[in-house]
A and B are shown apart, each in its own frame.
Chain A
């Protein structure tokens, strides 16, 4: 038996090592953002300094600069605004469409559902050139409304796909009973399905919002003035003045913008995985 016990111990040790190495590799940039945010410039820009520790006193200067002398707060506001409006538009289009595909359209529901999912694979980098002309034609250049118009092209397909799976998991006897009680099919959708699908809808809200915060290509193409940026474009482009990178403020901004999204995402991770793996896990 002692041999077997040490084998198990060895397994645990190997596993702990593997996890430690990967966690450090993957999370290191965020640790680096954290430590950079609080270092004085004289500490950051002295080559002889050990960069892993504070060689001078920690400082809040970068945060003060970020909040007082840049448009960072404005970008957070822009991102929240676009996020909220895109969430509303996405729910408006995706809820009925997902219900139709899950319940009413039968075999065609499956096919159309897959077609919808495939449109999610059409990347922004294929469409940004023609869309830039559409935006110009509509007079929406350098306006957040350009993003509000375009972002649902990828949030709606993803949300339909997620909601379709969700609606299918609700027993249809519930609606049948409601319809026997005098509700129409559409009434059953509005008054029964939507209220009991709160957690599915919440998932869609979270993922639509995170997709909006993560988008880069369209925001880069359509927006130009500093005050109209989203966090994803404003931070890497406008916190650089000429050739000067304000690394302290830059890293603080990256961290502040990333963490809330990461927390929300983790809460709903399992549903997100289910969306990607429908059909592959049985």
Chain B
């Protein structure tokens, strides 16, 4: 990146500003109209009393935010969004690091293993989630059957994985982790491959054991790429509503609702555009923070 930009400055800059503007403008316009425009509309709705089927709009100030902050289901949603995002990311980081180490060296069948490991990430998420809904079924769950077969539960007494609030929260969290582990693994694997082989080898010659080499040399060297994996993982989970919508539809009793799924339930299913828009705006602060860190990584790479 660094070498490239220095060269462009001397040769390319200002060469034909009109042409570059003309080539860039259509894409920029499309994105402005359909990303920036709707975003502003969401902000506008959040301060209004917009409903589906209501022709007139009135400005209501902070009224929507006041009533949202007082609603118990919103508090549950924001709590769940945080639990799912951070909890699943912890699972992901530990698992992905272990998996990346195990996959680092070539072996027979590595291609097949990689294909299988990637499936949760590449399959459409709504379909992966419905697969889990069957695995966690209230009556025919294969997990329950196995637990009964191992005599850990009596027949018919295995828990309802998606029917009890705490278990449902744990299930959603684990399905989120299941979805993101492959993504983080391949990103970390790319980071490992980029480290010159002689560095960990030299450490081994100097007597550093496996764990010491990993924790004091390899993982610190991978910090930028580790941050990339974590930042994207956080964004994917925080902004997702598919897993919750398919697995529990927010239930039982709104106990697994997240910010996006609550925004959908109120704004689209409940026709209350204003409330839905206001809830979805609560995604923005965290997204801004994550984007800031991403920019820092990009800038550091540009300088060095």
A132 pairs with B268, CB closer than 8 A:
yes
Which stretch from A61-69, A96-104, A194-202 is at the chain B interface? A96-104
Task: Say yes or no: B140 contacts A47, CB within 8 Å.
Answer: yes
Q: Are B298 and A279 touching (Cβ within 8 A)?
A: yes
A54 located at the interface, meaning its Cβ lies under 8 Å from any Cβ of chain B in the complex: no
A274 to B294, CA, bound (A): 16
Contacts of A223 in B (CB 8 A): none
Q: Is B159 an interface residue (CB 8 A)?
A: no
Which bracket fits the contact residues of A?
35 or more
Interface residues of B in 243-268 (CB under 8 A from A): 245-246, 259-260, 263-264, 267-268
B142 touches A32 (CB 8 A): yes
Interface centre among A26, A122, A213, A258 (most CB of B within 10 A): A26
Q: Which of B39-47, B60-68, B71-79, B160-168 contacts A (4 or more CB under 8 A)?
A: B39-47
- The answer to whether B42 and A266 touch across the interface, beta carbons within 8 angstroms, is no
Instruction: Determine whether the beta carbon of B125 is less than 8 Å from that of A122.
Output: no
Which residues of A have CB within 8 Å of B260? 123, 125, 217
Is A83 in the interface zone, CB < 8 Å from B? no
Known: A97-B27, A216-B125. Is A130-B118 also a contact (CB below 8 A)? Answer: no
B140 touches A185 (CB 8 A): no
Residue of B nearest to A239 (CB): B130
B215 at the interface (CB under 8 A from A): no
A99 to B16, CA, bound (A): 13
Chain A residues, Cβ within 8 Å of B129: 236
B235 CB, min distance to chain A CBs, angstroms: 6
Select B240's contact among A125, A129, A134, beta carbons within 8 Å: A125
A213: nearest chain-B partner, CB-CB: B124
Task: Tell me the smallest distance from the CB of B41 to a CB of chain A, in Å.
Answer: 4
- In the complex formed, the residue of B with least CB distance to A172 is B11
Complex interface: chain B residues within 8 A of A96 (CB): 23-24, 26-27
| Across the A-B interface, the 7 shortest Cβ-Cβ residue pairs | A106-B13, A104-B20, A123-B239, A125-B260, A258-B123, A279-B301, A130-B41
7 further A-B pairs in the complex, CB-CB below 8 A; given A22-B98, A97-B24: A36-B134, A106-B12, A153-B35, A185-B16, A231-B127, A236-B130, A276-B228
A residues contacting B by CB (< 8 A) are 11, 15, 18-19, 22-23, 25-30, 32-33, 36, 44-45, 47, 50-52, 92-94, 96-97, 99-101, 103-107, 109-110, 112, 114, 116, 118-119, 121-134, 149-150, 152-153, 156-157, 160, 168, 172, 185-186, 189, 210, 213-214, 216-217, 220-221, 231-233, 235-236, 245, 247, 250-251, 253-254, 257-258, 261-262, 265-266, 269, 273-274, 276-282
